Amino acid sequence: MKVELVQLAGRDGDTAYNLERTLQAIAACAPDTDLVVFPETQLMGFPTEESVAAVAEPLDGPSVHAVQRAARERNVAVVVGVAENDAGAFYNTTLLITPEGIALRYRKTHLWASDRGIFTPGDRYATALWKGVRVGILICFDIEFPESARALGQLGAELILVTNGNMDPYGPTHRTAIMARAMENQAYAVMVNRVGEGDGDLVFAGGSAVVDPFGQMLCEAGRDECRQIVELDMSRLEAARRDYRYLDERRFVLPGERIDHADGRRELLIT
């Protein structure tokens, strides 16, 4: 599977600017790319408690529709973060958008300090199939909790995608966490972070990365805007799981209701 990591600087609350840059990046992807991944809340940036009602959009709104059109035109899947408005409830959401539409929606379950009072936490983990690979999504602070990635592993995830909005001085924390989450679940992990300055004097740490199922770093970005293209060798999954499988040998299963959908999606509802 060929994946492009698009590490960008964004503008908080400036959807028009962020959307334009997102569409440009999708249009510029290689013709044989399977998946293009952007940072957390890529389309809207990070809203405040005062601005979220004006900034957040429903998933059938104009910004998501524009990304859906771009995905169809390029015949590529896009992983992009949004501030979601669901009938007046606001979520920090990441979408997997394929040429057919929204294949997967994940709402951030672990809210960072700056999310609280703005977003509502999600209530489930989910995976979906894309080109025969079972894909799951996490968002930023989620990866500091082993249970989040383990929930995706429990749903059979082979590729964990992380949209990130991690800022200084926490870059090293997420570098360590993403390597651990990949190794413990014997899955690929792709993390794409934002760079540059944000509101509230934040400086985003970059460091977008791809980690293989052995926990080995395959590529790592610096602190500037960039695009990295990585070909994932999915045979590495079986190699990592040949001698032992952590998921088979664990003695504790995360609680929750598992739902298997007819379209291949799997969800684990948090209880």
Helix (H) or strand (E) holding 122: none
SS3 label, residue 32: coil
- 4, 40, 84, 158: the catalytic one is 40
Residue 82 backbone phi and psi in degrees, to 5 = -140, 160
**What's the order of all strands across the beta sheet hosting 101-107?**
101-107, 89-98, 77-86, 35-37, 2-7, 226-231
131 labelled catalytic: no
CB-based contact 6:35 (threshold 8 Å) = no
40 labelled catalytic: yes
- Compute CA distances 22 → 151, 216, 225, whole Å: 29, 29, 13
SS3 label, residue 72: helix
The angle, 0 to 180 degrees and rounded to 10, between the axes of the packed helices 15-27 and 62-74 is 10
- 140, 144, 158, 267: the catalytic one is 140
108 labelled catalytic: yes
With 0-12 / 13-18 / 19 or more C-beta atoms within 10 angstroms meaning exposed / middle / buried, residue 226 is: middle
- 57, 84, 108, 267: the catalytic one is 108
What amino acid positions are annotated as catalytic residues? 40, 108, 140
